[in-house]
């Protein structure tokens, strides 16, 4: 079955029988997700994540903090590399914002309760 035109992901069907070897074709690099809820979900504040290779960037929306972890060397995410001289932080942050803008992802704003209205009712997009 062909993929839908507006799908932002890719199919694993061709690499599954080859023990995961191969490439999943996507229009963006990495794994990106966001949690726009506050309190009691994940890190307890609205954030987005971009994982590319061994690196994981977390962007918090309430205080604009960025965290960067090398998952290969620090699976427990104890050492924040965001302020190190690596250019990874700005690159992953740029790619995250570009992706969220391209897919018109909802944008967190203080006081929004995403549980009370359908997403279409909010005029807040990247």
* Residue pLDDT tens, the chain, 126 long: 565 566 666 666 777 676 767 777 766 778 888 887 666 555 678 889 999 989 999 999 888 899 999 999 999 999 999 998 778 999 999 999 998 888 888 777 776 665 666 666 666 666
| Closest residue by Cα to residue 88 from 70, 74, 73, 103 | 70
Angstrom distance (rounded) from CA 94 to CA 113: 27
CATH T-level topology, domain 31-121: Arylsulfatase, C-terminal domain (3.30.1120)
Predicted local confidence at residue 30, as pLDDT = 80
Domain range list for the chain = 31-121
Question: What pTM value is reported for the model?
Answer: 0.74
| Closest residue by Cα to residue 89 from 64, 110, 112 | 64
Predicted local confidence at residue 81, as pLDDT = 96
Sheet containing 31-35, strands listed edge to edge, beginning at the edge strand earlier in sequence: 31-35, 47-52, 55-60, 66-70
């Amino acid at each position: 079955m062909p993929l839908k035109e507006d799908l932002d992901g890719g199919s694993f069907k061709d690499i599954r029988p080859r023990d995961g070897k191969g490439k999943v074709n996507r229009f963006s690099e990495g794994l990106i997700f966001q949690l726009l809820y506050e309190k009691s979900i994940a890190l307890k504040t609205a954030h987005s994540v971009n994982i590319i290779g061994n690196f994981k960037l977390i962007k918090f929306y309430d205080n604009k903090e960025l965290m960067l972890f090398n998952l290969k060397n620090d699976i427990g995410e104890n050492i924040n590399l965001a302020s190190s001289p690596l250019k990874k932080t700005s690159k992953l942050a740029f790619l995250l914002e570009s992706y969220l803008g391209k897919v018109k992802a909802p944008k967190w704003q203080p006081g929004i309760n995403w549980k009370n209205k359908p997403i279409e009712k909010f005029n807040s997009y990247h």
